[in-house]
Amino acid sequence: MDYESWTKDELIAKLRSLDVKCNEHVKRPPPSGSVSPGSTPLADPAPPSDPAPSSDPASPAPPRKRKGRMVDFDFSRFPQRKVAFKFSYLGWPYHGLARQGNSLTSEEKHQIELTYPTVEGALFKALAHCKLITSETTCDYSRCGRTDRGVSGFGQVVAMYVRSTGKFITEEEARVIVDAGQEHLIIRDAQNGGRPVLLPSNEHELTYINMLNKSLPPEIRIHAWSPVAPSFSARFSCKSRFYRYFFPQSGLDIQAMQEAAKRYEGAHDFRNFCRLDPAKQIKNFERIVQSAQITRVSGQVKFVGDGQSEEGVWWQLELRGTAFLWHQVRCMMAVLFAVGQRLETPDVVDHMMDIQMTNGKPEYEMASDLPLVLADCAFDEKDVKWIRVRSPGRDSTNMVVLDRIVSKTWGELNTQAVIASALLQTVRDTQAPMLCERGSMDINYSSWSECRKQLLEADTQTVRVILGGGAIKQAKKYTPIMLRNRAEPVELRNQAWLERKTANKRARTDE
């Protein structure tokens, strides 16, 4: 370029232009992978434009873009509100509802949860993943009913403080809202440091149901949520709990079981129908059973049809009460099974509830956990108003998704049941040698179903006690419940536990 012909002003302008370009080049970060020794880039460089595809198959693939570092979630920016969740779960994959080791560290809890998964463990994991709670110990958590390992729930309820889309407002703004008669839109509690919070409408609140169901396993489903008062407790605010226990007819005397079940109704001492934990030092075993009836399943569960055999005819114990003791329903059901097999009379229920006659629980095995379901938990309408969809009448997404997931689960389990039924039928149709008279050399073959029937009729020495869920206990002799060995009275067992605790504490102090 002929700079000799340029004027002074043109040369100065050119120099200034080159100076600007030079400064931009120095400030531009080097491309990835070419950082000079001893230097540290402050930020990732802007991604280069996608290169043209190479025709060489051996050429390396372009490097993957790096994701930005996750920023810690700042819970202090968001108010919290107390809500209740109604949810269902299939209990057999879990070791009960309640998470174990409430006094353990987070790492210990994590290890225990891996070995013994619980429904609450999965629920807390989903709550944390959705950034709805800061921790399980600071959210004022409460549960309605604690179910055992294997027991399912259709209407379990828990309550806690969760993150909300509401906003913190000033005291002046709060006064204006109160003066306008809208004080119900404001909450003020210790969880938010006493600061006034303006609540959103239900349509503009977080989509709790959708958020949690995306993070939960398919066997656990959130059905509804409800705003609740700060004083609400899922356990102590509950007015009644409703249980259902499913069982096939299988030769049981249903009428006798119905008569025995009616004797559970009312206020009774159920100390002989529960598992005693002396560590809890329970002294009052009186509970109120509001209703106890045995009904046909097919009339209430449309997806279960009556079979041609007794194994295909299903019944259920429907039990409603204010509260229940540990393993109470399963112990009550075990006695009903004994009555249904005519091993006991319905009077055994009255005898076991008479603590003067039976001061000490007789030894007997409780019924299986598998067929038991916590079907519902009832609350006052003024305390809980369940919200199932975001916009009633306009949005049914939550119910559509819920139905699809539960239908898929039912389809999978029903298919497994049909396959197991077909396998059992194959075994029963197998040709097997029939029993023959002593000394006879003739062997006749028939279906194993006929042979099995003959064997059961011929075996008069074995008693098969039904425990539900396909479980059967075999014994050479059945001893009536009232004639069996009994545990020590509750008062003595509680006192013995206290004495051991005091002795252990004294021994640790002496060390």
Q: Give me the phi and psi of 132, to 5 degrees please.
A: -95, -25
150: its two tokens? 């294997």
What residues contact residue 357 under an 8 Å CB cut-off, 6+ apart?
351
What residues contact residue 483 under an 8 Å CB cut-off, 6+ apart?
none
Pairing state of beta strands 372-378 and 266-269?
A: unpaired
The answer to whether residues 462 and 332 touch, using CB atoms and an 8 Å cutoff, is: no
* Residue whose token pair is 């249903």: 254
Q: What b/e readout covers 472-505, taking b as 16+ CB neighbours within 10 angstroms?
A: eeeeeeeeebeeeeeeeebeebbeebeeeeeeee
Q: Cα–Cα distance between 274 and 264 in angstroms, integer?
A: 14
Q: Cα–Cα distance between 253 and 473 in angstroms, integer?
A: 18
Q: Cα–Cα distance between 184 and 452 in angstroms, integer?
A: 69
For residue 339, how many C-alpha atoms fall within 13 Å in the half-sphere facing its CB? 22
Pairing state of beta strands 372-378 and 152-163?
A: parallel
Residues composing the chain: 511
Q: What is residue 98's DSSP assignment?
A: S
DSSP states of 39-78 as a string?
Answer: ---SSPPPPPPPPPPPS-TTSPPPPPPPPPPPPPP-GGGS
- From the candidates 9, 44, 140, 148, give the one annotated as an active-site residue: 148
* Residue whose token pair is 């950034």: 131
Active-site annotation holds for 459: no
Positions marked active-site: 148
